[in-house]
């Protein structure tokens, strides 16, 4: 999980949001690149999700080590759980780095008529938080 913890640092979150929302520093006639902002925000969200998932796997591991389930089946399942955790960590870390790298290739500022100046369309579905 160490790779995930560092993959998103400096690529998204508050720093990226502050950087993109600071219209006072935008070159004359240009606006923030919303595509760049979205990619950097996705990288930060994936990084945070990776940390939460690692914590969940750690909690299950701690329960198993404390004797919540014993025997050969428990040992086999714990091994499978470890493999799944490693696979999930690799996938999240890779996706985090891909989003961050794609965001960094985008210019910070674009002309107002550039398609990247418009935020992504809202996707239908339940609101964040399930409400």
Q: Radius of gyration (Cα) for the chain, nearest Å?
A: 20
Q: What pLDDT, in 10s, does the model give residues 51-100? A: 999 999 999 999 999 999 999 999 999 999 999 999 999 999 999 999 99
- More confident position, 131 or 85: 85
Q: Out of 41-50, 54-63, 90-99, 119-128, which region has the weakest mean confidence (pLDDT)?
A: 119-128
Chain-centroid distance of CA 114 in Å reads: 26
Instruction: Check pLDDT > 60 for residue 35.
Output: yes
Side-chain half-sphere CA neighbours of 23 within 13 A:
7
**Is there a contact between 12 and 104 (Cβ–Cβ < 8 Å)?**
no
Name the phi and psi angles at 118, rounded to 5. -100, 130
Side-chain half-sphere CA neighbours of 63 within 13 A:
10
What is the chain's length? 131
């Amino acid at each position: 999980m160490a790779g995930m913890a560092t993959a998103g640092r400096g690529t998204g979150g508050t720093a990226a949001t502050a950087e993109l929302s600071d219209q006072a520093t935008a070159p004359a006639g240009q606006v923030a690149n919303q595509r760049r902002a979205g990619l950097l925000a996705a990288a930060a969200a994936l990084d945070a999700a990776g940390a939460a998932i690692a914590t969940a796997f750690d909690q299950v591991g701690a329960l198993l080590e404390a004797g919540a389930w014993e025997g050969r089946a428990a040992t086999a399942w714990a091994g499978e759980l470890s493999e799944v955790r490693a696979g999930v960590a690799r996938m999240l870390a890779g996706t985090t780095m891909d989003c961050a790298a794609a965001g960094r290739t985008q210019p910070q500022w674009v002309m107002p008529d550039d398609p990247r100046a418009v935020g992504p369309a809202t996707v239908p579905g339940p609101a964040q938080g399930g409400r």
